[in-house]
């Protein structure tokens, strides 16, 4: 039997906010050490954005990473270049006559201090100055860390962080975003704008939007083959559903939402920041095949429960 309240559970960690704030303090100390011999940079060139499932309150599975975008805004770090990269514009996105094509590819900028060098330098400082009980590693675009907290009653809680060094990037509409490298590819995000859009839609739908995300995620996590979900994939799918369909968390209303997604071209769905197509962008493209797969799983659960 389908019971919405049973599928609204979140994986909360009591001290996550405090631990994250402490981590940010240490992160800025690491950055200060890194730039101590680099006169081009000052601390004013660095900022941190947090955009993850904890912020969106859709944290359903265990061991979610606190995602921190470490942004660098220092124009003097760019080597002179005569080439200007083309970027997709919001006006193109809103023109229904335009077919969703791949966003023009942007080459990584020519920097005096490349992001890869900054990432490596910060990583080495993490290894040197953080307690050895913390596990630090690098993946294709970020510095990752697991820190363990021992409580008085003997329980151990693990907290995970992902630090993504990135550059400030303005698109053709002069909207501020972030650019970073995923191996040799460039990825572009607008986390600040995405959060604004997310919160606005959730307010307009009286929190049914967020609750639907959580229910769909928990349905998927009931599948033995799925223990975690790609970041933002459910959030993005449901962001493209009209507000009028977020009536309640009753089974039939949820099925109506699934039907809308299935009956509309997903390749036209936008990212939550609305600056690109979610499934045809070369920067943050999500898998259409995977989306169709998880939609079938959700629909099957709702029909059979």
Residues with Cβ within 8 Å of residue 134, at least 6 apart in sequence: 145, 146, 147, 148
Beta-carbon count within 10 A of 251 CB = 17
pLDDT at 186 over 60: yes
* pTM of the model as a whole: 0.88
Query: Strands 135-138 and 46-50: what pairing?
Result: unpaired
pLDDT at 155 over 70: yes
Beta-carbon count within 10 A of 1 CB = 5
**Which residues are bridge partners to 180 per DSSP?**
187
- Mean pLDDT, to the nearest integer, of 293-299? 92
The pLDDT value recorded for residue 181 is 86
| Contact in structure between 270 and 232 (CB atoms under 8 Å) | no
Query: Strands 65-72 and 46-50: what pairing?
Result: antiparallel
From residue 305, give the alpha-carbon distance in Å to each of 231, 248, 298, 301: 26, 17, 11, 6
Share of the chain above pLDDT 70, in %: 89
Rounded to whole angstroms, the Cα distance separating 302 from 216 reads 10
pLDDT at 145 over 60: yes
The pLDDT value recorded for residue 121 is 96
First to last CA, the chain: 5
Rounded to whole angstroms, the Cα distance separating 190 from 2 reads 36
Least Cα distance to 213 among 53, 3, 82 occurs for 53
> Phi/psi zone of residue 187: left (φ > 0), alpha (ψ -120 to 50 degrees), beta?
beta
The pLDDT value recorded for residue 83 is 54
281 φ, ψ (degrees, to nearest 5): -70, 140
Share of the chain above pLDDT 90, in %: 63
pLDDT at 153 over 80: no
- Residue-wise pLDDT for 254-263, tens only, equals 999 999 999 9
- Mean pLDDT, to the nearest integer, of 181-190? 84
**Which residues are bridge partners to 166 per DSSP?**
71
Q: How confident is the model at residue 3 (pLDDT cuts 50, 70, 90)?
A: confident
Q: What is the 3-state secondary structure (H, E, C) of 133-171?
A: CCEEEECCCCEEEEEEEECCCCCEEEEEEEEEEEEEEEC
The pLDDT value recorded for residue 289 is 86
- Mean pLDDT, to the nearest integer, of 268-290? 86
Burial track 213-237 (b if 16+ CB lie within 10 A, e otherwise): bbbbbbbbbeeeeeeebebbbbbbb
Q: How confident is the model at residue 20 (pLDDT cuts 50, 70, 90)?
A: very high
Least Cα distance to 51 among 167, 198, 184 occurs for 198
pLDDT at 305 over 70: yes
Q: How confident is the model at residue 88 (pLDDT cuts 50, 70, 90)?
A: low
Rounded to whole angstroms, the Cα distance separating 272 from 234 reads 11
Rounded to whole angstroms, the Cα distance separating 198 from 193 reads 9
Please name the helix (run of DSSP H) or strand (run of DSSP E) that holds residue 293, with its range, or none: helix 288-304
The pLDDT value recorded for residue 102 is 54
Q: Which residue has the tokens 């990473």?
A: 65
- Mean pLDDT, to the nearest integer, of 119-134? 91
| Contact in structure between 182 and 283 (CB atoms under 8 Å) | no
| Contact in structure between 269 and 237 (CB atoms under 8 Å) | yes
The pLDDT value recorded for residue 109 is 87
């Amino acid at each position: 039997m389908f019971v919405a309240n049973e599928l609204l559970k979140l994986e909360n960690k009591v001290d996550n906010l405090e631990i994250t704030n402490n981590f940010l303090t240490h992160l800025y100390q690491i950055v200060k050490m890194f730039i101590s011999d680099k006169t081009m940079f000052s601390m004013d060139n660095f900022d941190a954005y947090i955009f993850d499932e904890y912020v969106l309150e859709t944290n359903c599975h265990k061991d979610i990473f606190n995602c921190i975008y470490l942004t660098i805004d220092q124009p003097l770090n760019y080597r002179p270049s005569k080439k200007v990269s083309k970027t997709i514009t919001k006006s193109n996105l809103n023109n229904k006559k335009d077919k969703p094509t791949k966003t023009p590819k942007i080459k990584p900028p020519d920097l005096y201090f490349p992001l890869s060098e900054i990432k490596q330098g910060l990583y080495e400082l993490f290894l040197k100055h953080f307690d050895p009980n913390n596990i630090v590693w690098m993946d294709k675009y970020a510095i990752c860390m697991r820190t363990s907290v021992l409580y008085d009653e003997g329980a151990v809680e693990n907290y995970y962080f992902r630090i993504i060094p990135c550059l400030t990037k303005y698109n053709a509409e002069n909207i501020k975003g972030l650019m970073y490298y995923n191996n040799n590819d460039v990825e572009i995000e607008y986390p600040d704008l995405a959060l604004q859009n997310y919160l606005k839609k959730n307010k307009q739908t009286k929190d049914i939007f967020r609750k639907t995300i959580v229910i769909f995620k928990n349905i998927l996590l009931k599948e033995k083959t799925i223990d975690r979900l790609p970041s933002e994939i459910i959030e993005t799918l449901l962001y493209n559903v009209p507000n009028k369909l977020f009536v309640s968390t009753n089974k039939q209303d949820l099925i109506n939402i699934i039907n809308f997604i299935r009956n509309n071209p997903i390749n036209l769905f936008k990212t939550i920041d609305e600056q690109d197509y979610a499934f045809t962008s070369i920067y943050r493209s999500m898998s259409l095949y995977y989306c169709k797969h998880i939609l079938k799983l959700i629909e099957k659960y709702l029909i059979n429960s």
